[in-house]
Structure 1
């Protein structure tokens, strides 16, 4: 994607942009910032004021040797906006490498979510305004059984229908602010400290977010399926079922709840089907 002159000007960075690894692979480095497309202005308006002070606190703790996790610092544009033409900015972290170790990802998530729980004690109202396909899938995966069954039929996915049968009303823990896309969004800085990027906010149990992270790690990032073995029964199993329903519905249905077109749904179904074999057979 091309970054316009207006975006570069408002974020006060030069035009010599270059791709940056990590995340979804669409971000670019410009000056001392990472610019990322597809940002939702309404989400950034409430989320970034949470992330910015948290990032400062964690950086200060890192200086004192106490921080086990860091968060990429969101940066506003010169006019005070967080998003310009769909682009958001965060401080560039040089000399980082992508983290795909499932144990470290899970540990990072636990530290991050503990900090989120301290910083945000009530469900942000901005979450209710989201209408993207991920938000729709999230609501379906946790919603009434009839709505979920109907969505499963529309999806055309046998795996989704099987997961609907597996879903049970089990308490997975208290809802809180969580990162719903952690597996591909953790970098290690030069000191080996995890740096969390591209926070995808949801108000769900931390156990669900960890299950989702490990499921994604197996499906897309080469983690061994055995990392899901401890999640094969009881509450853990239900966390994985909800996580898988969320992921599959987000790709099998569009933002209006209609069947998605193209090859992506079948690709996703194959990836998660393989990851879930040890649990579902």
Structure 2
């Protein structure tokens, strides 16, 4: 089935009777039907695993939780199946992205979310090492688990553009202390926490993209995004923390975001938006702190 179309059969499979319409965002591939969001699955085994994980997480969450997650909706005929013909269904959460004025809240929610993930104590899922998109490839390069020369479709043009910050960040990079534990993390949480300032409902964590890295690396990515895309400065780094481990995780987060531009690049998009990315300035701010 094409990911841009949604059939009546899929709606029926999830027990949905409301009409479906396109939902803004989500790569323009998602639909909303009543209070249910339907999303195409890039990889069915992973989507099934993630839905089951979030079901377990919802059972674990205390009443006093600092966030909420959408409820994965099973197929009507099988309460243990969460994918049907390439589609998943989730309860709708209200709110909008909050990077403009919620930085402290984003960091707080991320910390609470990752504490709860740690409590689940799940082993590293096999799909994390198997999926090889631009973000995963860049992650492996950043963490010295793969050489950039081994990655296909690397753009020399983008490498040249980011040469200065990449070189500077590489010079700042030091080994992490022994004993730093990796776990499941949401690797793109910055723009995937929804805030509803009118109802003041709990922030909603959405669109899980999991990696296996130290928990604080998720917040380092938040800070990297704030520095590069939202005009944030030293204050956000200080809010996150300036101890040796956090600074080194931030070095890696900035390096990762830079290197993703050079892998499997949509050059037309990159050329149109590259001037908006403040990674050169972000590297200088971090160097000054170090």
Counterpart of 2:135 in structure 1 is 134
Q: Render the CA deviation track for 1:137-182: whole Å, top value 9, x for unaligned.
A: 11111125x8258769954431334323332212383101111111
Contact 2:41 2:47 in 1 (8 A): no
* Residue 51 of structure 2, aligned match among 38, 48, 58: 48
CA deviation vs aligned residue, 1:92-115 (integer Å, no higher than 9, x gap): 13x434332110000001100000
Match of 2:262 in 1: 252
Tell me the distance in 2 between the aligned counterparts of 1:105 and 1:202: 18
Q: 1:169 aligns with which of 159, 172, 175?
A: 175
Q: Which runs of 5+ in 1 are unaligned?
A: 255-259
Residue 266 of structure 2 is aligned to residue 227 of structure 1: no
CA contact (8 A) 2:216 2:249 kept: yes
Q: Following the alignment from structure 1 to structure 2, what is the Cα–Cα distance between the partners of residues 272 and 37?
A: 32
CA separation of 1:232/1:89 partners in 2, compared to 1, >3 Å: closer, same or farther? same
1:1-281 equivalent positions in 2, closer than 5 A? 1-14=4-17, 16-20=19-23, 26-58=29-61, 61-62=62-63, 66-78=64-76, 80=78, 81-93=81-93, 95-100=94-99, 101-144=102-145, 147-148=147-148, 155-156=159-160, 157-158=162-163, 159-171=165-177, 173-188=180-195, 190-220=199-229, 222=230, 224-225=232-233, 226-229=235-238, 234-254=244-264, 260-266=265-271, 267=273, 270-273=276-279, 274-280=281-287
1:43-101: CA deviations, max 9, x gaps?
A: 1222221111212443xx33xxx2222111122333554334543221113x4343321
| Alignment match, 1:257 | none
Query: Structure 1-normalised TM-score?
Result: 0.81
Encode CA deviations 1:173-192: one digit per residue, 9 max, x unaligned: 31011111111111135343
Moved more, 148-157 or 27-36: 148-157
Task: Give the match's secondary structure for 1:123.
Answer: coil
Residue 15 of structure 1, CA deviation: 6.1
* Count of aligned pairs between the two proteins: 268
Q: Secondary structure at the match of 2:261?
A: helix
Preserved contact between residue 140 and residue 148 of structure 1 (Cα < 8 Å):
yes
Over 3 Å counting, the alpha-carbon distance change for 1:140 and 1:278 in structure 2 is same
Q: Distance in 1 between matches of 2:173 and 2:275?
A: 17
Asked if the contact 1:120/1:177 (under 8 Å) is kept, the reply is no
Alpha carbons 2:190, 2:222 under 8 Å: kept:
yes
TM-score norm. by structure 2 comes to 0.79
Moved more, 72-81 or 261-270: 261-270
Structure 2: 5+ residue stretches without partners: none
Q: In the aligned structure 1, how far is the partner of 2:72 from the partner of 2:228?
A: 29
Shift of 1:42: 2.2
Shift of 1:242: 0.9
Report the secondary structure of 2:211's partner residue.
strand
